Structure 1
Amino acid sequence: MEQLTTVDTVHEEGSWLFTVSDRFGDEEEVILVPCEDGVEAWVNRCTHESQRFDTGRGAPIRNGQIVCPRHGSMFDSCSGHCDNGEAANTTLPAVDITVHTDGTVFLTDDDVTFAHEGGIDDDDDPDSTSHISL
């Protein structure tokens, strides 16, 4: 179990980005996002075209939904489900976390290990075709 951050930090900052490695050493970015009184962890990419949500400046979230900066599909931050746009009827891949009573967030997913805070060193900016201004 790897300590990540706190619920308060995620709520204050709007999201929290970290990188994990799978058993083959492949890295994947994960975002912690506010969800009602807690947080949820999702793989940091849209299900439509693998577009990153958080490119190092925080995940775009509006009214409890994570917004894909490329096409504007919106995913519920609590369930990960999308019911609109190019990614409609898909759900973000979840990463298992546990929140202790003191608000500390731990990575508890048996399929990945914590690599580091922040993203995979990739400076690509999205080529936005979204009608939503972020």
Structure 2
Amino acid sequence: MATRYRLTSVDTVLDDGSWLFTARNGRGEDVEVVLVPCEDENADSDVEAWVNRCTHENQRLSREGVGAIVRDGGIVCPKHGSIFDSCSGYCANGPAAESTLPSVDIAVENGQVYLTDEDVTYLHEGPRDDDENEDDEGPSSTSHIRF
């Protein structure tokens, strides 16, 4: 059975639009994970967890102080405008079309979000705090979508 770790509340994710944390995956790599609202009535939960990287160019989807851009049930890549379904992680448009974000297992109980993924260990809230973040200045967008 996976070790449970309380991350945050569902209300925090819904109120803020997203919530970012750093974890260590099974390969020993530090990865960012973003929690986003899932508005599908058939979904198991009101929140889903995805690795915080676009499948097209390894671009961060969520940035500290900004969060993930979630519009009409989709997570928008700030660089090229690909939109990933916040409930399934699937992208049907743009450069990332036909790909799916890597998921991270969570559970929601009594309004709280728990990390339950056996291959992921919670490190801290917020982004990675190392020098590996090459895109800290943010993306130079080539997207046709404006916010």
The TM-score with structure 1 as length reference comes to: 0.95
Q: Deviation at 1:55? A: 1.6
Is the 1:82–1:88 Cα contact (8 Å) retained in structure 2? Answer: yes
Instruction: Note the residue ranges of structure 1 that are not aligned, 5 or more in a row.
Output: none
Separation in structure 2 between the aligned mates of residue 89 and residue 24 of structure 1, nearest angstrom: 25
Q: Deviation at 1:127? A: 1.1
Aligned mate of 1:96, from 105, 108, 121: 105
1:29 corresponds to = 32
Instruction: Note the residue ranges of structure 2 that are not aligned, 5 or more in a row.
Output: 40-44
Q: Which amino acid aligns with 2:85?
A: D
Separation in structure 1 between the aligned mates of residue 69 and residue 27 of structure 2, nearest angstrom: 30
Is the 1:55–1:124 Cα contact (8 Å) retained in structure 2? Answer: no
In the TM superposition, 1:32-43 aligns within 5 A as: 32-36=35-39, 38-43=46-51
Q: Which amino acid aligns with 1:46?
A: C
Separation in structure 2 between the aligned mates of residue 77 and residue 98 of structure 1, nearest angstrom: 16
Q: Which amino acid aligns with 1:103?
A: G
Identity of aligned residues (%): 61
- Give the number of aligned pairs: 133
Q: State the secondary structure of the residue aligned to 1:60.
A: strand
Deviations along 1:76-120, one digit per CA (max 9) or x if unpaired, are 0001000000000000000000001x1100000000100000011
Q: Which amino acid aligns with 1:15?
A: S
CA distance change for structure 1 residues 114 and 62 in 2, over 3 Å: closer, same or farther? same
Q: State the secondary structure of the residue aligned to 1:75.
A: strand
Q: Deviation at 1:124? A: 3.1
Q: Deviation at 1:22? A: 2.0
Q: Deviation at 1:24? A: 4.2
1:115 corresponds to = 123
Separation in structure 1 between the aligned mates of residue 140 and residue 88 of structure 2, nearest angstrom: 26
Separation in structure 2 between the aligned mates of residue 22 and residue 72 of structure 1, nearest angstrom: 27
Answer yes or no: is 1:85 the counterpart of 2:88.
no
Q: Which amino acid aligns with 2:54?
A: C
Q: Deviation at 1:26? A: 1.3
1:50 corresponds to = 58
- Give me the CA root mean square deviation: 1.1
Would you identify which runs of 4 or more consecutive aligned residues in structure 1 move more than 4 Å?
Answer: none
Q: Which amino acid aligns with 1:80?
A: G
